[in-house]
Every structure is written in C-alpha cells, then in structure tokens.
Amino acid sequence: MMLSQLTIHEAHRLLKTKQLSSVELTKASLERIRQVEPKVRALVTITDELALKQAQKADELIASGDINPLTGIPMVIKDNMCTKGIPTTCSSKMLENFVPPYNATVVEKLNDCGVVMVGKANMDEFAMGSSNEHSAFFPTHNPWDLSRVPGGSSGGSATAVAAGEAIYALGSDTGGSIRQPAGFCSVTGLKPTYGRVSRYGLVAFASSLDQIGPLTQDVADCALVLNAIAGYDGRDSTSVPEPTPDYTQCLTTDLNGLRIGIPKEYFVEGMQTEVAVAIRAAIGKLEELGARVEWEVSLPHTPYALAAYYIIAPSEASANLARYDGVKYGFSYQDTKNMWEALEKTRQYGFGDEVKRRIMLGTYALSAGYYDAWYLKAQKVRTLIRQEFDQAFTQFDALVTPTSPTVPFKIGEKIDDPLQMYLSDVCTLPINIAGLPGISIPAGFANGLPIGMQIIGKPFSEETILKIAHAYQQATDWHKRRPNI
Amino acid sequence: MKLSREEVLHIALLARLGLTDAEVDKLREQLSNILENFEILQQVDTSGIPPTAQSIPLQNVVKDDEVTPSLPSNEILANAPRKDGEYFRVKAVLE
C-alpha cells in the first residue's frame, strides 16, 4: 500500500510513534500527484512548496509532543473555500486570478491543527453541476474508469482521495455535491446538518443549502475531520450554537435497537437495477447488525423535491452571483464605453454555460409576475418536504437510500441535457432542502463501478449516521478497495 | 409553455448577463423544457402552508456592536481589476 493511501488514523499512529515523518508522508502524496494527476485532473492548483513547509512545521510540532489527529496529514481543499494568498478559483474564469486576502473558517481551523495542504480541488464551476464537466478549466476523470465522470460538484475532492493523491479532502454540498461524488468514487462523504460547520469564506452558491463537509477513506476519518471543523462561528450568522460532541465516541458496531426506515420513493423510476440490488443487500447487512428495518416507508412529496430544489437553488444563486461585476475582483471586460456594457460583457465571458443557465432560471423564478407561482410555491413545497422528514424521524433514527440512481456515467453523456444531469442528484437534494445530515459510504460495485449508500439523520444527529456507517464498514470491505490506476 | 425570445432577453437584462443570439436560442429551448417539467409543482396543494426560507430555527441573529480590525485596504484592492489610489475605478455610469 502507498503511504498516501493510509487513513488518517493509520497515518496518525505512525506519525505519533515516529515511524513516519510528515515530510515523508507529504512527499509520497506529492509523488502520487505527479504520477496520476495527468490522468485524473483532480487539482486546479498544486501547492507543493506550501505543503513541504507545513510538513516541516508539523514535524517540529510532533517532535515537541504537540500532536492532534490531523497534524502533519496531507489533504486537499475544494477550490471554493478561501485560502489566504493561494488562488481560489471556483473552477471559473470569473475567479481564475482571485487570491483571497483571508482564510475560510474551516481552513483556519485545519491550519490550527497543523495540517498539510497539497492542493486545491477541481469542481463544477461555482459548485453547479453533478459531473465536474462544468469546470471552466478541465473535467476531472473518475479513477475507477477514466472515461467516466467522478460526480460533482466536489468531484476533484472525491477523486483526490480515491486516487491516493491526498488522505482526505474538504468538499461542499448544496444538493449532493459531497455525497454524489463520494458515491461515484467509492469514498466516504458527509454533509453535516445545515449550520453545523461555518460557511464563512465558502464562496456562496445557494446560501440556505450550502454546507461544508469531509471526504475520507472511512467513517472513523470522517469523524476526526468533523471534530476539527464543526462548531459555532460568530462570523457565520447561520452557524448554530449547539454543542459539538467528540464524534469518534459514537463509533461502535452495535446497531441493536436502532430503527431504520427505507423510503420507497427513493427507488425511483429509471434507477439502475444493479444499484437497487446492491443497496437492498447493504440494508440487509444493517439488519444483520441488529437494526430494525422498516422497508415500506413513504415520503409522498419526494417526487416534487427536484423541481423545488432547482427553483430555490438557482434563485439564491442568481442573487449571490450578482456580486461578480468586474469591479471589486475577478474577471473584468474592459473594452467598452460604459458601465452597463462592461457589466454585461464581464458576466457573458466570465461565466460558463451551466452558471448562466442557473442565473437565468433563478432570475426568472424571482421576477415580477412569476415570483408567487415559482419561488414562493417552491418554498412552500420545501415546508412540506421538511415536515414529512420530521414526521418520519418520530418513528425512525435514520433513513437509508441509494446515493445516486446510477453508477458513474460517461464523460459527455449528459452534458447537453441539463434535466438528465439534474436527475443525478434526485436522491441527495431533498436532504439539503430539509437541512439534514447525510453520509454516503461505499456499498458495492456493478461491473467495477462504485455504488454509494446514503444514510440520513435528523438535524444534529451526525453521531447516529456515523455510527450506522461505521458499523457497516466494520462488517464489509467495500471502502478498502482502491482503483487500479 | 414556451418562453419567447423577448422574455429570455428581458430576464438576461434583469440579470445583467450578455448573451449571443445562439445562446438566446439555446436558453429559450432549455429553460422552456426545464420549466415545463417543473410545472409538476403546481399539482401540490400548498394552501395554508407557510414558505420555508431556511431550515434552522434561528431568528434575528444579532451580535454586539464591537469594533474589530478590518483588512488593510491595499490587500482588498490587490484583486481590483482597475483602481485609483484607494478607490475602485469604474466606467462612466452616465454618458
């Protein structure tokens, strides 16, 4: 096994007992990046100089006895989280040359742990997409099959972890952007409860839905990263002043007494048979581990979630992306006579097709005469979806579904059909609408292509879903398989 | 329901988004198709249901009005496409 494919907890043990230095580990990660990056294109920026400096500093910390579980461990950060002095592009031409003057709260928290950042991860432009094909720079390739997409929008983060370029990654999830690529790349990806992790310094897409979370090789690692990034932050007024437990304490393997519901609407029309079969088998495993499974739960408003999401998220995006005016930062088209023309041309040439499509859709849904019929209607449907989840959680501790209706699709297959692309998020986006925590874990393969299982919890019950996911990983070894590249 | 060219151009103006003729045609097709599929929302009975803008129970979050240091203006202006001393420079608003 390569050093850069160690888990966080394995690497930590070796660092702590001085069998391995952070510099050695970081060099292994950078060497792996040199090997596989030309094939997978997971990174927008490789920060090798910074990484080696951070690794030396980590080794000094470790030598002085100052070590915590993330100290000295190489990782990557999705390129929509601000890193002071290091370009943060959102994989957009609009921010190609943007260098943030400050760090996102999550970056600050990780830096305080003495981490090593080896790069910034490629993504769908402004996190809008499900395949990483909407990156303005280059698409990322799935390490399990280079002709296929890694999912999106945190496709670079998921690929970097799956391909062993980094030991873990941070992603962001607005409608499935951590969980769907985690499923497609066979890694573990957690979207925490809305408000659990500070969004300060995360470039805004849809502010009522966005949430930052970890992509890791197993659930134990996921708990370690969540421990480091969770918690109230006065700079994000939507971060919630709830206590954050030590998430490693819930990682037991006994599921006795846990009640798990299977919402039948998530086994949608058009779902690949292999996916449904694998997920039913995985749920059977949870039953063997002691969980009480109810197979026929109904969440009848599920079929409306996709439409509600794709009205609400673009509406919020159209407002958030109004800030890109070519004046304060970012791409600026100068060759015009007046301000209005400069503004329109800056946005015409700075944004890619999917971003333009969503700005248009959102602007339409918010415009005079259409606001009530589209935006307000979608917000009311949002209420019904949330109420339905609240009701289900009076009977169940968690709900389990497939992460995505299909295995990874071919690059180019859905790029000209936005609606087909949107359907890739059909199982993940209701969870953002309701603000719930959800985790995707590896649950099998079909013809060598990964299948992910999603576990959904009630608000602030990350411990419950981590526990179920951990118990499953202790009984299976899907998460230990690595792509052969 | 199909959006007209004029409607597409009107939305683009509201969004201050320049579009080529080809983009206008393509977006007209795609947005019409998307909205047609989303009409499914109108089937949901939402009478008496309040809208949800966000999913957490926090309301009216306030904090003490304390003075804290701001970033130095030269660091903020470092990303400006055009600047003039301590100011962002913009094109003429009025002809």
First to last CA, chain A: 13
Predicted confidence at residue A171, as pLDDT, reads: 98
Q: How far apart are CA B6 and CA A31, in angstroms?
A: 55
Q: Which of helix, strand or coil describes residue A143?
A: coil
260-319 in chain A: CB under 8 A from chain B: 301, 303-304, 307-308, 310-311, 318
* Residue of chain A with shortest Cα separation from B55: A435
Q: pLDDT band for position A165 (50/70/90)?
A: very high
* Interhelix angle A353-366/B5-14, nearest 10 degrees: 90
Active site residue A78: yes
Tell if the CB–CB gap between A101 and B52 is shorter than 8 Å: no
Strand partners, A214: A170
CA A37 centroid distance within chain: 20
CA atoms of A404 and A427, how far apart (whole Å): 6
Number of CB pairs, chain A paired with chain B, less than 8 A apart: 168
**pLDDT tens digits for B6-59?**
999 999 999 999 999 999 999 999 999 999 999 999 999 999 999 999 998 888
Catalytic residue among A177, A198, A424, A461: A177
Q: CA quadruple A459, A299, B38, A131: dihedral positive or negative? A: positive
Cβ within 8 Å of residue A443, ≥6 positions away: A278, A279, A282, A451, A452, A453, A472, A476, A478
| CB-based contact A3:A21 (threshold 8 Å) | no
Backbone torsion region of residue A444, taken as left when φ is above 0, otherwise alpha when ψ lies between -120 and 50, otherwise beta: left
Q: How far apart are CA A51 and CA A4, in angstroms?
A: 14
Q: What angle do CA A136, A137, A141 make, to 5 degrees?
A: 105
| Neighboring chain B residues of A418 at a CB cutoff of 8 Å | 30, 34
> Which of A27, A78, A458, A467 is the catalytic position?
A78
In chain A, the percentage of residues whose pLDDT exceeds 70 is 100
CA dihedral A170, A174, A176, A181 (to 10 degrees): -40
- Angle of helix A105-112 relative to helix A219-229, nearest 10 degrees, comes to 110
Residue A342's closest CA among B82, B10, B75? B82
CB atoms B46 and A347 under 8 Å: no
Residue A204 clears pLDDT 70, i.e. is over it? yes
Q: Do B79 and A379 touch (CB under 8 A)?
A: no
Residues in chain A with CB shorter than 8 Å from the CB of B54 are: 194, 208, 238, 435
Q: Is 70 exceeded by the pLDDT of residue A274?
A: yes
Q: Position of tokens 């370029």? A: A165
Q: Within the 203-242 window of chain A, which residues sit less than 8 Å (CB to CB) from chain B?
A: 208, 234, 237-238, 240
Angle B26-B28-B31 (CA atoms, 0-180°, nearest 5)? Answer: 100
Active-site annotation holds for A153: yes
Nearest-CA distance from B94 to chain A in Å? Answer: 8
pLDDT attached to residue B57: 80
Cβ <8 Å between A237 and B38 = no
Window A:100-139, CB contacts with B under 8 Å: 101-102
Name chain A contacts of B8, Cβ cutoff 8 Å: 360
The C-alpha of B48 sits at a distance from chain A's nearest C-alpha, in angstroms, of 9
pLDDT single digits (tens) A300-351? 999 999 999 999 999 999 999 999 999 999 999 999 989 999 999 999 999 9
Q: What is the pLDDT of residue B58?
A: 84
Every domain of chain A and the residues it spans: 3-257
Mean confidence (pLDDT) of chain A: 97
* A177 catalytic residue (yes or no): yes
Rounded-to-integer distance, Cα B7 and Cα A141, Å: 38
Residue B60 is predicted with a pLDDT of: 87
Closest C-alpha among A469, A459, A399, A467 to residue A193: A459
Domains of chain B plus CATH, in order, are 5-43 (1.10.20)
Q: Please name the residues in contact with B66: beta carbons below 8 A apart, sequence gap of 6 or more.
A: none
For chain B, the maximum distance between any two Cα atoms, rounded to a whole number of angstroms, is 57
Q: Is A283's pLDDT higher than 70? A: yes
CA dist A206 and A191 (Å) reads 15
Give the residue-averaged pLDDT of B63-78. Answer: 92
Instruction: Give the pLDDT score at B92.
Output: 85
How far is Cα A115 from Cα A29, in angstroms, rounded to an integer?
13
- Residue A256 tokens, joined: 């006795």
User: Which of A248, A250, A241, A262 has its CA nearest to residue A216?
Assistant: A248
pLDDT tens, position by position, A89-147:
999 999 999 999 999 999 999 999 999 999 999 999 999 999 999 999 999 999 999 99
Q: Which ranges in A17-172 belong to alpha helices (H)?
A: 22-40, 48-63, 105-112, 155-162
For residue A14, what are its two tokens? 């070796």
Interface test with B, best of A174, A269, A334, A380 (most B CBs within 10 A): A380
What token pair was written down for A197?
């992790």
Banded pLDDT at A208 (limits 50, 70, 90) = very high
Question: Apex CA A271: angle with CA A270 and CA A272, to 5°?
Answer: 110
Considering CB atoms only, which of B17, B42, B75 is closest to A356?
B17
Backbone angles phi, psi at A418, to 5 degrees: -55, -40
Residue A350's contacts (CB-CB under 8 Å, 6 or more residues apart) are: A92, A93, A94, A324, A326, A330, A331, A333
Average pLDDT over residues A166-176: 98
Nearest to B58 by CA among A463, A393, A239, A381: A239
Query: Does residue B63 or residue A407 have the better pLDDT?
Result: A407
Burial profile A264-283: b = 16 or more Cβ within 10 angstroms, e = fewer: ebbbbeebbebbbebbeebb
ipTM: 0.96
Q: Name the CATH architecture for the domain at A3-257.
A: Alpha-Beta Complex (3.90)
Q: Please state the rounded mean pLDDT for residues A253-264.
A: 96
List CB contacts of A18: < 8 A, sequence separation 6 or more: A62
CA A144 centroid distance within chain:
18
| B93: amino acid identity, one letter | V
pLDDT-derived band at B61 (thresholds 50, 70, 90) equals: confident
Q: Enter the tokens of residue A1.
A: 């096994």
State which amino acid sits at residue A21: S
Give the per-residue pLDDT at A1: 65
